[in-house]
Chain A
Amino acid sequence: MSDYPKIVIASENSSMLYLSQRPCTRTSNMIAHTVRHLKHSLSDQLIDLVPSYASLLVIFNPLVTDHRHIQVAIGNALDNWQPQAQAQTARRIELPVYYSAESGPDLQRIAAHNHLSIEQIIALHQQTEYRAYAMGFAPGFAYLGELDPRIATPRLATPRKRIPRGAVAIADRQTAVYPAQSPGGWNLIGLCPTALFDTNRQPCTLIQVGDNIRFKAISREQFIQLGGSQSDLGEPS
């Protein structure tokens, strides 16, 4: 018998739903479905939801409901799940990337680590359609998976203090775009001129959990034309 789905207590006012051991598209679809269902069925009882790779944290108001009711609501959401209906609803987003030594200072090291050429790294990064499995670390930071194992590279031993906004990076079998300037330990391979997080926009995040993402190479000129900043080119600190 399968150990999943499994619901455990996280705190006095939150329950954790686990759907599988490893992340996969099916699990990700089920989480997106459960999020939609619970927002509707729990409405005011709900405080927040935290979807991730293979789990969903459900935070509720403990003065109006309890773990038992939440467990029932999660069960109802899962019973309501129709795999076929989900397949067509995932959004597809294409992000332009200026891959180069001046925008991706770690390309050389990733190539050496994986015994490939820089051109092969850039080509392999664009070949996969990624899934936005989770958001966290910073507002609008989406964890995209899974990276081709041939270009997987561990995080930097010492994180950089300042990574420019729009930096496209990889860590192990994940890839991401930094939505704002921040410190970070991922390997940098290029820059994306598209704004990922903008508090004046509705919704403020371009990517949402469950979206499908592809990257497409652009030239230096196109990068500048699309709003990329020249000052972000060169070695970050």
Chain B
Amino acid sequence: MKGLKVIQPGIHSLIQDAGRHGFHSIGITSGGALDSHSFHCANQLCDNSHTAACIEILVGGLILEAQIATQIAITGAQVPISINNRSVSTWCNHAIQPGDRIKIGYASGGCRAYLSVAGGIQTKPIFGSVSTVVREGLGGLHGDGKPLQQGDILPCQPSADTQQRSTPLQQRPVFTDCIAEIRMLLGYQHSHFNQSQLDLLFNSEYTVSKNSDRMGYRLEGPAIIPPYSEMLSEGICLGALQLPTDGQPIILLSDRQTIGGYPKIGSVLSLDINKLAQLMPGRKLRFVPISLEQAQIALRNPE
């Protein structure tokens, strides 16, 4: 099947969909687009189902050559894009002809861009998803967890769709140098931490460490020392804030281990995981505690 040919894979480009669900009990993690909002918008722009497979482009550097007539759209990080060396905009769809060269430059704001194609990338799902999880060797073009490589052909269906679409401005993330505010719902072992440790967490700034990836974002800042270092391993949900013995917080993300034995204070609101997924190492954030009611209201009325 024809589709999009990878001329240059970029720093780290992965096929991702909405994730692999229902297999945690055999140790399989969810994977899936880290910034689910940008992923969702990319699919909307190509009139796709909300779970269609896209490319998650870390920082940039991806070059594709089209073999078919179709539509593409790019959302997420602020990246320069060109089609046959002509600059085009992110957050809207573009018609593509066979032979067209699509070039994604390097991000100047945010760090993860999403490229969608009409109908989604047509590769064989494994455990119900094509999401690439490098650590598990699952998903992706060949099902073996490999990132995109030069020469890969991403199968896509031709599309004669001509409708123009763009994402409303208010739905696009704004990338600034401000300290990111990350909302957190207390949970798990939070009641085992003393109040002064919780106060320290919510009154401090943390820096995103360079050892951050799709498995977890490691933070550097004032240490929140857990009341005990070992506990029985238990299920870890998306966004869980884990405190290892050194007290440097780790926010567990899409490629997280399914169970683990470090104490956890609660979990980051899913809407803010999208924001977090766009923070480069070195960027700063602070946590804002929210109640369950506030979390539920935010989920039902995302701004």
Contact = CB atoms under 8 A, between A and B. Distances in A.
Q: Bound pair: A and B?
A: yes
B232 A52 contact: yes
A180 B188 CA distance: 31
Interface stretch (B50-58, B103-111, B236-244): B236-244
B25 A53 contact: no
Given A10-B188, A16-B188, A57-B235, A136 B259 contact: yes
Interface stretch (A98-106, A119-127, A203-211, A227-235): A203-211
A35 B25 contact: yes
A139 B26 CA distance: 6
Interface in A37-66: 47-57, 59, 62-63, 66
Contacts of B257: 136-137
B138 interface: yes
Contact of A134 (B238, B259, B266): B259
Given A12-B295, A52-B234, A136-B257, A63 B300 contact: yes
B24 A12 contact: no
The CB with the most chain B CB atoms within 10 A, among A23, A48, A143, A208, is that of A48
B296 A66 contact: yes
B188 A8 contact: yes
Interface residues of B, number: 42
Interface string A191-228: 00000000100011100110000000000000000000
A205 to B, nearest CB: 5
B27 A53 contact: no
Contacts of A141: 27
A138 B234 contact: no
Nearest to A46: B22
B21 interface: yes
A10 B26 contact: no
B137 interface: yes
B267 interface: yes
A25 interface: no
B27 to A, nearest CB: 4
Given A57-B237, A62-B299, A180-B137, A23 B26 contact: no
A204 B267 contact: no
Contacts of A35: 25
Contacts of A10: 187-188, 235, 237, 240, 264, 267
Contact of A12 (B21, B22, B25, B185): B185
Interface string B115-148: 0000000000011000000001110000100000
Contacts of A134: 233, 259
A48 B24 contact: yes
A13 interface: yes
Contacts of B26: 135, 139-140, 203-205, 208
Given A50-B24, A57-B24, 7 more contacts: A9-B186, A11-B240, A50-B236, A51-B25, A52-B232, A53-B233, A136-B257
Interface of A: 8-14, 16, 22-23, 35, 47-57, 59, 62-63, 66-67, 134-141, 143, 180, 199, 203-205, 208-209
Please give me the 6 A-B residue pairs with the lowest Cβ-Cβ distance, nearest first.
A57-B235, A50-B235, A11-B267, A136-B259, A9-B187, A135-B27
